[in-house]
Amino acid sequence: MTATGPLCSSEIIFKSGGLALAAHLALPPGGGKNCPAVVIAHGFPSGPGGGANSPATFPELAERMAAEMGWVVMVPYLRGMPGSEGSFSLQGWRDDLLAAIEYLVGLPEVGAVWTAGFGTGGALAVCAGAADLRVNGVAALATPADFNDWADNPRRLLLHARKAGLVDESAPPKGFDEWKASLSEISAELAVIQLAPRPLLVVHGSDDEVVPPLDARLLSGTHGAGELRMISGAGHHLRHDPRAIAVLLGWLDRQQRELIY
């Protein structure tokens, strides 16, 4: 479906546990009521640009979905990211997604809600979707089944998070033991059990050099009815692979149609 009229998109601030977080919100042209909606979770930043790099292209995707599909799309900049207060933690990022879902559900334009995420954001989209029964389904792209690699060396992760600008340089995060514990406690593999039988889409690159393709098969298999789509020759950064985006948009469109009929 292609919507008509002027597109309404804006940068907003929403609250998560007392923190003020930034987000990009795209509304379909002409607004409307009971529009399908999705929260898109960015991944852990890497490469040039650090904290600003990872979510940079998601507003463009959000506006495309609003204009061409008639969806309400929210892209939260999770705690520690530019424009958002706080410091990175897995538990904190999951809570931020739950707060984003709450914000989205409260909008007068919004009807049914889904979550989608890339990389780390995919795992947390699964965890948040499992925890909030109002979420109709989850799409997880290039998603790790767990964070055991991070849990094995939390101080290396902390150093990386500092370099990316997600954690204050001068001190470790408050409650380091709790911060470290969340690395092993939060697991998409465990969360998909709670998510089922709600729909799950798992998209993964066959040549992913960061997250093994085995993780994708594990997630879809553990869910029991997950739709698994392997993208031949694709690496980890599926946001930039048009085939992966086409799979995501097609799945969301089908989800909306199945809900209606």
Tell me the pTM. 0.91
User: Which overall architecture, per CATH, does domain 8-260 show?
Assistant: 3-Layer(aba) Sandwich (3.40)
Rounded to whole angstroms, the Cα distance separating 138 from 15 reads: 23
Domain ranges, ordered by start, for the chain:
8-260
The whole-number pLDDT of residue 2 equals 42
The whole-number pLDDT of residue 168 equals 73
The whole-number pLDDT of residue 136 equals 97
Alpha helices, H only, 79-119: 90-105
- Split the chain (261 residues) into runs of 10 and give each run's mean pLDDT: 54 95 93 90 74 72 94 96 92 97 95 96 98 98 95 89 79 74 92 97 96 97 97 94 97 90 58
Helix (H) or strand (E) run with residue 89 in it: none
CA-derived radius of gyration, the chain: 17
Three-class secondary structure of residue 58 per DSSP: helix
